[in-house]
Amino acid sequence: MSNMNDKPQRRWLGPAFLASLALNLFLVALIAVPVIKGPPDRYGPPPKGYGPAVMHGALKELPEEDRLVIRRAMRERFRDVAPHIRETREAHDKLINAIAAEPYDEAAVRAAFDDISEATLAMSVLGREAMLDGFAKLTPEQRQRVAEAMREDREKSKAIWRKHREGRNERHTEPAPAE
């Protein structure tokens, strides 16, 4: 009669099991993080400049109909903004090339920064004008909602900054000596 111990050992089974377990844990984490963290921000990072950036956080909190009025006004101006977006990208590429150039040319780096600033300022002005157009189309009640959303967004930003600053202070504070 044959003994069950006579079967060849399968040395690959343990590592295969561990690899499978690791892969499954990775997949569970990959699925769980978005579920726990919530959906991604539909609106992306806030735009740079003084125009639309002032409204970015507040717009997320407005009712859809209020956002649509302002979005329409922004879209109407997009054709005017698009060339400045290209200029900003081109100036950013110039900046990268100027920084990497040998020998280093500070004047070229400054010129690229100036080009970025000019294009960004032009976009901000157009964005501000679009928002002014949008605000003019809102009812008084809608403008009140916009103002309130902006106030709330500012308070949230202050709280986040305060919390960040307090956390930074805690990290840089020496612990009290043990007695």
Of 39 and 67, the one with more pLDDT? 67
pLDDT at 176 > cutoff 70: no
Quick one: tokens of 69?
Answer: 């009025």
| Predicted pLDDT at 50 | 45
Quick one: average pLDDT of 118-133? 85
Out of 1.10.2020.10, 1.20.58.1000, 2.60.120.860, 1.20.120.1490, which CATH number does the structure's domain 52-159 have? 1.20.120.1490
What ranges do the domains of the chain cover?
A: 52-159
Average pLDDT over residues 120-146: 86
Q: Which residue has the higher pLDDT, 24 or 130?
A: 130
pTM beyond 0.75: the answer is no
User: Residue 55 in contact with residue 157, Cβ under 8 Å?
Assistant: no
Residue 45 has pLDDT above 50, yes or no: no
CA angle 170, 174, 177 (to 5 degrees): 130
> Do 146 and 138 contact (CB within 8 A), yes or no?
yes
